Structures are given as structure tokens and as C-alpha cells.
Amino acid sequence: MITDVTELKVYADRLQEREEKYRNLFNNSGVGMFRTRLDGSEILDVNQKCLDIFGRSREEVIGKPSVKLWVDPQEREDMVKMLLSADHVSELEIKVLHTKNGVRNCVISIVFYREQGFFEGTLIDITDRKRAEETLRSSEQKLSAIFRTSPDSININRLDNATFVEVNEGFTNMLGYTREDVIGKPSVETGVWDDPEDRSRLARQIREKGFVKNLEACLRRKDGSLITVIVSSRLIELDGSLCTLNIARDITERKNLEDELRKSKRESEAANNAKSRFLANMSHEIRTPMNGVIGMIELLQHSNLTPEQYQYAEEAKQSGLELVNLLNGILDLSKIEADKMELELADFNLKSVVVDAFKLLSLTANEKALKLEHTIDVDVPMSLTGDAGRLRQIITNIVANALKFTSKGSVTLFIKKEFETELSVTLRFVIKDTGIGISAHSLEHIFDSFTQANISITRTHGGSGLGLAICKKLVELMKGSIGVDSTLGQGSAFWFTSVFDKQIKADADKIKTPASVAQLALHLPDTTQDKRFRILLAEDDPNTQKILPKLLKHYGYQVDVSCNGKEALLALQNNDYDLVLMDCMMPEMSGYEVTTIVRDQTSSVLRHDIPIIALTGNAMKHDIELCTASGMNDHLSKPLILGDLLTKLDNWLTR
């Protein structure tokens, strides 16, 4: 029997072709595909994508029960129930197990072939998509929480017509408007801008740069009150249209506070300056009459007094000197506080400064039978440039304190080199005493103004509590620091450092060592007989005119007085004087002018090279520069202290 199989063959070929197509599709599909038995006892077929979803090989899956691939068997049972009643399920969310990655979220769609008794379906892993959606949802939630709860005002405005799209509670709280008041309205119409120019500025900057940072603006609240805010804005795209996201912070209180602070800072600076000026003026004004008081007492001491009277006068003089000391302290401190203190830089010899300071201090040391010594390390350079007067003041103050608070033992000054460069040297001064010491508590405040460690002791010792405060400030001016180590009952060691310039060429001749008290005593008779030197005093203050000549007469000087500059010039043309004491500020002609004429070789004074010592009221650096510039040789500041005056006279007359 011959059968025509041609048609059959064609049919079979087509079938095979279709089967192949299906296979291809099945194998290469990006969606997981499977076939299982109804009871889940056996998985009949899976494609590669499905295997990927489970992380398993074909051998591990084919012929095995499908149940173990589910995370929750109940989920499968529910699905089977649905299939039995409806023949298919679509896009059901289930959880399956991946061997390595654990639980995966999938979407399953199944058709139930009732007659054949199996399921066929697709499986899509949506874990990553779900995760991304969740992240997005939670970040949206966070953002909207920030938007809702931010205390700052946040609003979104359309760029084209500036209408409010959204505002937060911060906005409604800050400006007193409700959402309904403003949404959909242009911001200028609502009246929130006090100055519409502020809005234009904001819009301009946004257009130019795309953002605005901390723009200060004035906004009007619904109740009409004004607030100051800083606004930051950024361009954003919302539902396809360009908008500005604006964040504003109310800084009204901060601004008011800043204004207050600035105002009170200005006021307190002004008050402080006024205080410093007042203190400086007052102490200067009080010093002038004190000059008269001390001078008169010294004069009185040179008259015929009983020892008892002399002692009374001496105590009055000491009180006067203490007062002058205190005034000097206040003057110094107020000058420093008003930043008016300038260092007077000049060449000096370190050893001379120490010897000089110790001259007076040794009197106290002798009285109290204390050993007063100094030790300067050999590597300390002696020829320095700096403010010798201020250095002497610091040393004198600290050593005087040490002597004051020590009743037996010694006070020693050590000077060491701490650091040296080619041009400068840092020195460390240590003043050790064997006195009462200072408690740890008092040490904390010892360098503050008006502080005294032990009030009861100070009462018997005197003092103002200004000394160390001034020392600290002076030391700081000299680029150094100051401190103290002390043990109560065992003594103290005060130290300070200072930076000095080294003299380029140390010229020994330039260093003037003032005559010592002992030297003075040698050639200065304390009676009136010897009038070796003739001095001209050019001075308009009647007090000084009265006291100085009488006082100096006791030390062997003859003093003539001129009341103003012109008289002084006349006197210098007619008499041969040895020295002039020249007040700087005088009527008719100032001391500077007189000096300039004297130094002029063509003028008709008898001696062009006569030593001229300036008497200055307030020895500021500037005044001294004027003295030097006009040709004066030296200066003394008022109130005149007899010891200083005698030293200077001796210095200039016995050269």
C-alpha cells in the first residue's frame, strides 16, 4: 500500500519548526517559564531565566517537587485553590527562595491545563524594582516630613508668574497667612515683600545663576509687622514647569540682638575710653600739685627741724611718694588699656639697669637685713636695645614685692639667656625670695588689676594691687610672658621673659651709667656754702619756681629763674650758665623754640653747647622725640623726684 505521505511530511515539518520556535522562545525568554504537576510533586520543565531566579541548576529542579522553592507553602496552596476554580491566575505577588540571595519577590502568572493536569506559567523577579520603589517612597516620605515640619519657611513658586504652588507650616507660622490665602496667588500681590525690589533681586539672581544663597530681605507678615529673613533659593522642575524652591529663615531676633550687642560694645568701648582718659587726666592733674607738696616737704626737711619733726616730714614725704607711685600706676594702666603705651626703644646696658634698680632697693634690703643679690649668666649679652626704663620698672616692682613679703633670708635676681637669633635675644628673669609665699588660690588672680593675695598682710605692707598687672602688660608689650611659682610659707619665684634687640655695634662709650648715690654723696655738699654751678631754670609754674631754687641751693647749686621762653633767652645772652632746666610748655616762647635758638651758632647766646635738660609734664615717646629734635640733651618728667634730678645734674655737670 502506497500512501501519499507528502502532505503529512509537510505537516510534520511545520510542527517541528513551530516546536523549535517555541523552544527558542522558551529558552531565551527574559521571563522565567515553567511547567509543573498540579499536586506540585514534580517540576516538568523550566527555562534558564527561571533557574536564575532560584539560583539552581536544571538537575536540581527537573523532576523535583516544586513546593520547596516557595518561601511560604500556604501562599502556594492559596494559589492552587484559585487555579482550581478559575483555571488561571495573573500577576500574583509571591515569595520564592534563591539559594544564595535568599527571599525574592516575584510576580507569577499561571494557566491550568485541567485535562493534562499541569500548570504552565511565567515568573518575574521584581525584588530590585520593589526595593527601588521602597527607597523612593521612603525618601519621598522623608522629604515631605522635612517640608512639613521644618521651622524654616519653605515655599515653591512658579518661575513664570511667581504664584505660590506650595507652602509649608513654617511659612504660615512665620508670616501669619493660611495656605488658602496664598496658594495660586502671585507673591507680590499677597504683600509679603516689604520692598518689591527684594523680590526682583531674588528673581534676577535665580535667572542668572540658578540659585540664591542667604539673601537678606524684609518680609511683611499678614498683621503688617516686618521681619528680617535670609532666603536661599534654587530652580527646580515640578510637573514639567520651572519653579523656585525658597527657604527663608527668620533672623529678626538675631539681628536685633546683634544690633544691641554692637551698640553696647560701642557704648562700653566709649565708656572705657572715657574712663581711661579720665584716669589719665586726673592722675596727671593730681601729680602736678603733688610735685609741689613733695618738693615743699623736702625743703622743710632741710630747714632746722628737731629729729622728731624731721621724722614727721619724712613720713609725709613717703606718703606723698606712695601717692605719686599709685598715680603713676593708674596712669600706666590706663595708658596701656587705651592702647596708648609705647615702648621707648634705645640702646642700653643690661648690667647698668640692674645696678640702677638695685640702688634704691638695697636701702630696703639693708633695713630689713635681707640679702639682695643678682646673678647674670655669662652668655647673656649686655649691650641691648629696648625700653630700659620699663625693664627697670618691672624688675623694681617684682623685687620690691619680694622684699616687702620677705622678713628673713634673701631675694635674688637671676638673668638667663633663653633664646638667641642673629638680631635679638630672649632673656628670662627670675626673682626668688624666701618670704611668705602665695596660696594656690591667690596665684590664679595675682596678675589681675587691684588684686592682693592677702588683704591683712597688705594692710600692714601697703600697695595697690596694680604693680603686677602693669608688669604683665609691660612684659607682653616686650613680647614676653610672666608667671610665678610659689609655695605658701616657703617663698616665691616670679619669672618673666622679654625680647630685646642686640646692638649691632656695642659702643661702650655710648652707655651712660648714672652716678651712684654714693658718688653723689662724695661731691655734693649738703650745706649751702659751695655754689660751684650756675643753673638757669626756665619755668612758668610758680610752685616749681619757688621750690627748686631753694632745694638745689642746699646741694650747692645757684639757680636763677626765668618765667617764660623769651626771658630765658635773654638770660642766656647775658649770663654764663652751666646748665638749663627747661620747661617745654611756656608762654611767649616754648622750651623747644628756645633750645633751637641756643643751638643755632649764629644766635647771640653765650654758650651754644650748654647742657639743656627738658622738664616734661607727660613723658610720652612723642614728647621726648620733640625734645631731642630741638636739641635738648636729656629729660626729666614731672613731678620731679629729687634723687633723679640730682643724678641728672651730676651726670651733665661733671662730664
Interface residue list for ligand ADP (CB under 6 A): 397, 401-402, 405, 433, 435-436, 438, 446, 451-454, 458, 463-469, 492
CB of 281 to ligand ADP, least distance (A): 23
CB of 471 to ligand ADP, least distance (A): 7
CB of 337 to ligand ADP, least distance (A): 16
CB of 348 to ligand ADP, least distance (A): 24
Q: What phi, psi does 539 have (nearest 5°)?
A: -160, 135
- Start-to-end CA distance of the chain, whole Å, equals 163
Per-position DSSP letters for 12-62, written without gaps between them: HHHHHHHHHHHHHHHHH-SSEEEEEETTSS-EEEE-HHHHHHHT--HHHHT
CB of 220 to ligand ADP, least distance (A): 58
Indicate the helix (H) or strand (E) that contains 269. Answer: helix 252-301
CB of 224 to ligand ADP, least distance (A): 59
Instruction: Considering the complex, state which of residue 246 and residue 492 has its C-beta at the smaller distance from ligand ADP.
Output: 492
CB of 613 to ligand ADP, least distance (A): 30
Cβ neighbors of 469 (< 8 A, separation 6 or more) are 333, 447, 448, 449, 450, 451
Beta strands 612-616 and 579-583, pairing class: parallel
Omega before 525 within 30 of 0, i.e. cis: no
CB of 505 to ligand ADP, least distance (A): 38
Instruction: Considering the complex, state which of residue 473 and residue 638 has its C-beta at the smaller distance from ligand ADP.
Output: 473
- CB-based contact 118:37 (threshold 8 Å): yes
Instruction: Considering the complex, state which of residue 32 and residue 491 has its C-beta at the smaller distance from ligand ADP.
Output: 491
Write down the residue that cell numbers 640733651 correspond to.
633
Instruction: Considering the complex, state which of residue 212 and residue 471 has its C-beta at the smaller distance from ligand ADP.
Output: 471
Residues 558, 551: Cα–Cα separation, whole Å: 10
Residues 559, 535: Cα–Cα separation, whole Å: 5
Instruction: Considering the complex, state which of residue 186 and residue 465 has its C-beta at the smaller distance from ligand ADP.
Output: 465
Residues 29, 41: Cα–Cα separation, whole Å: 25
Residues 185, 260: Cα–Cα separation, whole Å: 37
Instruction: Considering the complex, state which of residue 113 and residue 450 has its C-beta at the smaller distance from ligand ADP.
Output: 450
Instruction: Considering the complex, state which of residue 451 and residue 503 has its C-beta at the smaller distance from ligand ADP.
Output: 451
CB of 427 to ligand ADP, least distance (A): 20
Instruction: Considering the complex, state which of residue 40 and residue 463 has its C-beta at the smaller distance from ligand ADP.
Output: 463
Cβ neighbors of 63 (< 8 A, separation 6 or more) are 42, 43
Q: Which three cell numbers stand for residue 540?
A: 612758668
Residues 104, 89: Cα–Cα separation, whole Å: 19
- CB-based contact 246:217 (threshold 8 Å): no
Q: Which three cell numbers stand for residue 285?
A: 592733674
Residues 182, 192: Cα–Cα separation, whole Å: 10
Cβ neighbors of 84 (< 8 A, separation 6 or more) are 112
Instruction: Considering the complex, state which of residue 446 and residue 640 has its C-beta at the smaller distance from ligand ADP.
Output: 446
Backbone CA torsion sign across 299, 304, 305, 311: positive
CB of 367 to ligand ADP, least distance (A): 17
CB of 369 to ligand ADP, least distance (A): 17
Instruction: Considering the complex, state which of residue 279 and residue 548 has its C-beta at the smaller distance from ligand ADP.
Output: 279
Instruction: Considering the complex, state which of residue 224 and residue 489 has its C-beta at the smaller distance from ligand ADP.
Output: 489
